[in-house]
Every structure is written in C-alpha cells, then in structure tokens.
A and B are shown apart, each in its own frame.
Chain A
Amino acid sequence: AQTVTQSQPEMSVQEAETVTLSCTYDTSESNYYLFWYKQPPSRQMILVIRQEAYKQQNATENRFSVNFQKAAKSFSLKISDSQLGDTAMYFCASEGAQKLVFGQGTRLTINP
C-alpha cells in the first residue's frame, strides 16, 4: 500500500526566510509522480510543484523547489524568500491507481 508521511505538523518562519518541509513516501510503483499541494485558509487546494520519479533533476517552480531522493524515498519542499501568502497547509502526495495518497499535512505560518 502507498503511504506518505509528513513528520512536521506545524512550522513557523519569518517572512523572507527559507523553509523546508519534509516528506517521505513508500510505493510499489516503478514509475510514479509526487506532488506538493497547498491549501490556504480559503480551503481550495492548488498544486505547488510536481516531480516525475524517473527524472533525476529536481523540479523547481519559481521560489519553490524540491529535493527528491529516490533511494531514500524522500521528497522535501523548499520555499525560498517566503512570503505572507505562503501561509497555508501543505500536503505531500504520491500518485497511483487513479488516486492521490496524501500525507497528514504541515501547517506553515509565515510571520511578518
């Protein structure tokens, strides 16, 4: 069975700082995708970044980047130059069999 674990229930940093959210996963799929989703207080989930497991290069999207360690089954999210609008719940997810398996989430607060 697929599992996704986020070990940091809450994190808090100052604006403009860099923060890293951790995620580990387990899957029996040989080719799979990993995702980070953001859920702001308004509740609509949006995709932050996506990583294809067969690609060795880490995905980046502007201030967001991942550190994908396939052997260790680790998929962390780094947010650089954090902004107040980054305050949200962040969910790590793995894909398989037409569904996403989500971690429990990390509540990130960016303080002014």
Chain B
Amino acid sequence: KAGVTQTPRYLIKTRGQQVTLSCSPISGHRSVSWYQQTPGQGLQFLFEYFSETQRNKGNFPGRFSGRQFSNSRSEMNVSTLELGDSALYLCASSANGQFRGELFFGEGSRLTVL
C-alpha cells in the first residue's frame, strides 16, 4: 500500500506570494492532518479534515487555509507569504478519523520564503 504522498517536496517562494501544497493520504484513509515544523516552534497543528469537513483548526492566521476533496486528497494554501512561514509542512493521514490510532506521515514539503 502506498504511503502518504506530499508534493512538491521542495519549493522556494518570495514574500507576498502564495503557495499550495498537496497531500494524498493512504488509500482508504479519510482523515488528513497538517502540521508545521520549524526549529524554533517545533511541530504545530494546522488543521484536520475528515470526509471533506474541517474538524479542528490550530492557532494560525487566516492566511493558512486548507481543503479536502471527495477522494480524501487534501491541499493547504498559504497566502501573502512571510519569512516566518519557512518551514517543513507535514501531512498525516489516519484511517476513519480514529485519532486514537496511528498517524501516518508524509515526507513533508520544505517551503523556503525569501
């Protein structure tokens, strides 16, 4: 079974631009979560989707948004990029939204904002 796939793996943007990151969960998984990882703040929860509905959202500004499609694939968007948005963005999926089970992570999308 294929794992969680994130694209692109690396990208460089400039301040003020916007970016869209994609995540394909493991086949059959309906829950997709996004986390931001930085050296200073560690891993911070962005949002979680289950069956196209956002169930939970972390403490990030409205510039950060996401969505989930009917095939469970998810995208997250960051608008008006700031230098502080440079981070590794991790996507994770779980089966049937049973969060008390295991989260399966992708390799991440490394965003650099110049």
Contact = CB atoms under 8 A, between A and B. Distances in A.
Real complex partners, A and B?
yes
Interface residues of A, number: 21
Nearest 9 pairs between A and B by C-beta? Answer: A45-B105, A102-B43, A99-B45, A98-B56, A104-B42, A33-B100, A98-B48, A44-B107, A47-B102
Dominant secondary structure at the A interface:
strand
Dominant secondary structure at the B interface:
strand
A43 B88 contact: yes
Interface residues of B, number: 24
Interface string A81-112: 00000000001000101111111110000000
Contacts, number: 52
A71 B56 CA distance: 29
Contacts of B42: 102-105
Contact of A99 (B3, B33, B88): B33
Contacts of A105: 42-43
Interface of B: 3, 31, 33, 35, 42-43, 45, 48, 50, 55-56, 58, 88, 90, 92, 97, 99-100, 102-103, 105-108
Nearest to B40: A104
